[in-house]
């Protein structure tokens, strides 16, 4: 009898040890989530509404192109259970830090199912304009046809396509539901609301941009391809070919060539210097305007993505109509 009691005690102690070991690896509910940029953070915040709040790594005033992470920012990545980032195609210097982070799950958008990732534009072979996949009304495009010739590098500004935003929402919902099962139903309910808002946004953008469909423009740095492909505007050139390199005199000189090809506006982002563009605008007679794809000046949170996209639409439309 004594031997049986001893064996039972050993068995119970072993089970308790395993239980404590398992608890040591249990994630908090909700998990600690960090997102690199404000537009993506906004969509994740929508999925987590009423459950938790994701952290935002970079303020919208900062461009992730070539950004060197501060020790405090790297520490934030290390403290997270889930990291959501676009990928090295956009956050060009983050890969090492994210690879080294101890997060249980890392969502890389450029590798997420359902994301339509486009090659970087060369402007020698402009992609054929096409209507949104979600809005085939009046569209005679063949969506199964490859409109793009593969070139070196991918365009990381993928959140400017609403269809990609929806794929992101679905992936984040799936991951969070698996890691935090007690809130799985809440994540799913929230995701349905976010996707409904995205569908409304997509319809509004498509309708509003009809009046400037086919209008040509140039940018300081090329970041609008996903918007163009979905809503029919056409960028015919970029002054700053590489996001992390200053334009050369030859790059700037090409602006007049772009104007001769019918460009009626030149756009830049708030994160980049504007004196050069103001001068170019005066010399070429092309309308200059800033358009923002990161949510500069907007309050971080679940509304930022929608406010940013509508503001981008209005600012682009106004400049192209002038």
The CATH number that applies at residue 198 is 3.40.50.1980
Output the pLDDT for position 25.
54
Q: What is the extent of the structural domain holding 48?
A: 33-113+152-204
User: Length of the chain in residues, anyone?
Assistant: 322
- Domain boundary, last residue among 185, 204, 223: 204
92 and 229 housed in the same domain = no
pLDDT at 66 (0 to 100): 63
| Contact yes or no for 292/311 (Cβ under 8 A) | yes
Task: Tell whether 67 and 197 lie within a shared domain.
Answer: yes
Tell me, what's the pLDDT at 282?
A: 76
Of 204, 220, 247, the position where a domain reaches its end is 204
Q: What is the DSSP letter of 289?
A: E
Note the pLDDT of residue 62: 67
pLDDT at 151: 37
> Residue 254 — very low, low, confident or very high, per pLDDT cuts 50/70/90?
low
Residue 245 pLDDT class (50, 70, 90 cuts): low
Q: What CA–CA distance (Å, rounded) separates 275 from 288?
A: 11
Residue with tokens 């080294």: 100
Q: How many CB atoms lie under 10 A from the CB of residue 181?
A: 11
pLDDT, tens digit, for every residue of 91-128? 888 888 888 899 999 999 999 999 999 998 887 543 34
Task: Confirm whether 144 is domain-assigned.
Answer: no
Across residues 67-88, what is the average pLDDT? 88
Q: Residue 64 above 70 pLDDT?
A: no
pLDDT in tens, 120-132: 888 754 334 344 4
Check pLDDT > 90 for residue 202: yes
User: Does residue 19 sit within a domain?
Assistant: no
CB 268 within 8 A of CB 292: no
| 178 and 59 in a common domain | yes
Q: Same structural domain for residues 221 and 274?
A: yes
Q: Determine the pLDDT at residue 126.
A: 39
| 182 and 48, same domain (yes or no) | yes
Domain count, the chain: 2
Average pLDDT rounded to a whole number, residues 56-72: 75
Task: Give me the pLDDT at residue 124, please.
Answer: 58
**Residue range 4-29, pLDDT digits in tens:** 444 444 343 343 333 333 334 578 99
Residue position matching structure tokens 């365009």: 155
Same domain, 106 and 238: no
* Chain mean pLDDT for the chain: 81
CA 143, 90, 226: angle at the middle one, nearest 5? 30
pLDDT digits (tens, 9 = 90+) for 274-314: 677 777 777 777 888 999 999 999 999 999 999 999 999 99
Quick one: pLDDT band at residue 252, thresholds 50, 70, 90?
low
H or E element at residue 218: strand 216-221
Give the pairing type, strands 216-221 and 82-85: unpaired
| pTM tops 0.95 | no
Q: Are residues 198 and 89 in the same domain?
A: yes
In this structure, is residue 128 part of a structural domain? no
């Amino acid at each position: 009898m004594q031997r049986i009691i001893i064996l039972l005690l050993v068995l119970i102690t072993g089970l308790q040890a395993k239980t404590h070991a398992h608890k040591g690896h249990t994630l908090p509910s909700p998990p600690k989530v960090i997102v690199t940029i404000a537009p993506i953070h906004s969509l994740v915040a929508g999925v987590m509404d009423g459950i938790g709040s994701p952290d935002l790594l970079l303020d919208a005033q900062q461009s992730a192109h070539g950004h060197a992470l501060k020790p405090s920012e790297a520490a934030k990545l290390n403290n997270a259970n889930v990291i959501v980032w676009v990928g090295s195609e956009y956050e060009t210097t983050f890969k090492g830090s994210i690879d080294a982070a101890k997060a249980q799950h890392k969502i890389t958008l450029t590798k997420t199912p359902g994301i339509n990732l486009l090659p970087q534009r060369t402007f020698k072979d402009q992609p054929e304009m096409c209507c949104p996949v979600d809005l085939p009304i009046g569209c005679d495009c063949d969506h199964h046809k490859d409109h793009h010739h593969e070139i070196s590098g991918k365009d990381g500004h993928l959140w400017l396509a609403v269809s990609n935003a929806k794929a992101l929402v679905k992936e984040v919902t799936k991951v969070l539901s698996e890691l935090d099962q007690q809130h799985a139903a809440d994540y799913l309910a929230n995701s349905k609301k976010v996707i409904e808002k995205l569908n409304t946004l997509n319809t509004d953008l498509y309708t509003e941009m009809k009046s400037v469909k086919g209008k040509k423009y140039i940018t300081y740095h090329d970041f609008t391809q996903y918007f163009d492909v979905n809503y029919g505007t056409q960028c015919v050139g970029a002054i700053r070919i590489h996001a992390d390199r200053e334009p050369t005199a030859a790059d700037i000189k090409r602006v007049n060539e772009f104007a001769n090809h019918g460009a009626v506006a030149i756009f830049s982002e708030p994160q980049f210097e504007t004196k050069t563009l103001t001068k170019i605008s005066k010399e070429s007679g092309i309308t200059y305007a800033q358009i923002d794809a990161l949510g500069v000046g907007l309050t971080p949170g679940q509304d930022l993505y929608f406010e940013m996209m509508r503001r981008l639409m209005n600012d682009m439309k106004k400049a192209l109509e002038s």
